[in-house]
Amino acid sequence: MHLLRNELGKIYDDFSQQLFVCAFAVTGNKELAEDAMHNAFCHLFNLNFVPQNLKAYVFKSVRNSAIDLIRQTGRTVVFYENYIFDSGNSHNPREIANTNQFQYKVSQALLKLSEDEREVIVQYLYADLTFREIAELLSISIGTVTSWYHRGLERLRKLLEE
């Protein structure tokens, strides 16, 4: 099991930001996303077997942990946009203000999408997961993932044009 712990450590080192965004896409809350990651890794370190696709198993565990936390707390998703967007390197106050305003509009528009659309878009664009990885994570077909993604992007575009 020492090998499993080493592999889990490597996955955490390589994908902690993507795992956080995955949990955040479900919870919409920084603290709950962090708790979901913590709970999932506590569970993962106690596994008695090595899953065939450990990376996918870790992502699924974090997502399931996030769903459990939402159910337990009864909280609704409220997006805090600064946790999914890259802060950028600009020092120009006007550019920063414009970027912040745009990010706020995007985060509010994301809340108006279905949970499925929002989760796929956030995981694809901000967690850098492939459609195949998202399909495996959600236990659905890749066609469904791409459909939710394209439908969600179209709805997002219309919402941002308003």
Name the band, by pLDDT with cuts 50, 70 and 90, for residue 157.
Answer: very high
At the topology level of CATH, where does 84-161 sit?
Arc Repressor Mutant, subunit A (1.10.10)
Of the chain, the percentage scoring pLDDT greater than 70 comes to 82
More confident residue, 128 or 46: 46
Helix 2-27 crosses helix 54-73 at what angle (to 10 degrees)? 50
Name the band, by pLDDT with cuts 50, 70 and 90, for residue 1.
Answer: low
Tokens of 132: 């195949």
pTM attached to this predicted model = 0.70
- Domain assignments of the chain as residue spans, ordered by start: 2-73, 84-161
pLDDT greater than 80 at residue 132 = yes
Helix, strand or coil, per DSSP, at residue 114: coil
Name the band, by pLDDT with cuts 50, 70 and 90, for residue 48.
Answer: confident
Give pLDDT, residue 37.
96
C-alpha closest to that of 38 among 19, 14, 10, 57: 19
pLDDT greater than 60 at residue 85 = no
Name the band, by pLDDT with cuts 50, 70 and 90, for residue 77.
Answer: low
Contacting residues for 75 by C-beta, under 8 A, at least 6 apart: 27, 29, 32
At the topology level of CATH, where does 2-73 sit?
Rna Polymerase Sigma Factor; Chain: A (1.10.1740)
The full DSSP string for 94-109 is HHHHHHHHHHHHHHHH
